[in-house]
Amino acid sequence: MAKPEKHIFVCNHRRPEDDPKGCCLARGGKEIRDAFAEEFEARGLWGRFKLNTTSCLGACEHSPGAVIYPEGVMYGNLTPENVTQIIDEHLLGGEAIDALKVPPDVWE
Amino acid sequence: MAKPEKHIFVCNHRRPEDDPKGCCLARGGKEIRDAFAEEFEARGLWGRFKLNTTSCLGACEHSPGAVIYPEGVMYGNLTPENVTQIIDEHLLGGEAIDALKVPPDVWE
């Protein structure tokens, strides 16, 4: 396995249902992970990009979130539609999407 | 939260006990995560370094493993003693440790 061009870590942290912080898993983190996987599969992108789920990334107010390395860009409030945009513009196009990033006080 | 200098992802993937591939969790992945956390706490390194657990990193024959970004170095067959060495030499010293890396055919 060659080192991937980009490594995507989608938060799938789970908290108890009554926890006021909520969690990425309750707010669609699994669907975000699955959206990346489905597009990677459909477009033949496995190998170029690696996908993992992670424990809490610490941007709970902007869940569901994900961080992409090696550049270390963190996105928040993700929807499956955002995933398509991230693949097109960031992973394939090489340009991170400022409008989807978490605020600089969360991750600068 | 400022972007960390280094972001450590320790595989904590779990497979069924009878799975011949085994898994990082069964081979000490939690202890490796905990060893990083304990040293970060003891040395006041939280903030500079961020620690997460992840799903399968794909280096199962060299478990337990971890990947460190932004440089994208993957280590395998980790012990708690290795964690101290990684913190001293790699995270603080800036030099990745070739002897602890997984083989290039796994992650080059």
Of B9, B70, B108, the CB nearest to A70: B70
Per-residue tokens: A63: 């869940």
For the four alpha carbons of A42, A71, B59 and B41, in that order, the dihedral sign comes to: negative
- pLDDT at A1 exceeding the cut of 90: no
pLDDT reported for residue A2: 81
Whether the pLDDT of residue B1 is over 80: the answer is no
Contacts of A106 in chain B (CB under 8 A): 1
CA distance B50 to chain A (A): 9
User: Using an 8 Å Cβ cutoff, are A75 and A35 in contact?
Assistant: no
Could A1 and B106 be called an inter-chain contact, meaning their C-beta atoms sit closer than 8 Å? yes
Cβ contact B9–A72 (<8 Å)? no
| Percentage of chain A lying above the pLDDT 90 cut | 93
* Pairing of the two strands B6-11 and B49-54: parallel
* Separation of alpha carbons A11 and A26, rounded Å: 11
CA separation for the pair A78, A52 (Å, rounded): 16
How far, CA to CA in Å, does B42 sit from each of A79, B32, B84? 39, 15, 12
Tokens representing residue B10 in the block:
């320790």
Q: Give pTM, 2 decimals.
A: 0.96
Closest CA to A53 of A78, A30, A73, A74: A30
Is B69–A107 a contact, with Cβ atoms under 8 angstroms apart?
A: no
Q: Which of A97, A85, A89, A100 is nearest to A35 (CA)?
A: A85
Give A28-75 pLDDT, tens digit per residue. Answer: 999 999 999 999 999 999 999 999 999 999 999 999 999 999 999 999
| Cβ neighbours of B72 in A, within 8 Å | 3, 7, 69-70
> Predicted ipTM?
0.95
CA–CA distance, B108 with B100 (Å, rounded to integer): 13
Task: Give me the phi and psi of A32, to 5 degrees please.
Answer: -70, -45
Instruction: Establish if A106 touches chain B: CB-CB under 8 angstroms.
Output: yes
Is A96 touching B (CB cutoff 8 A)?
Answer: no
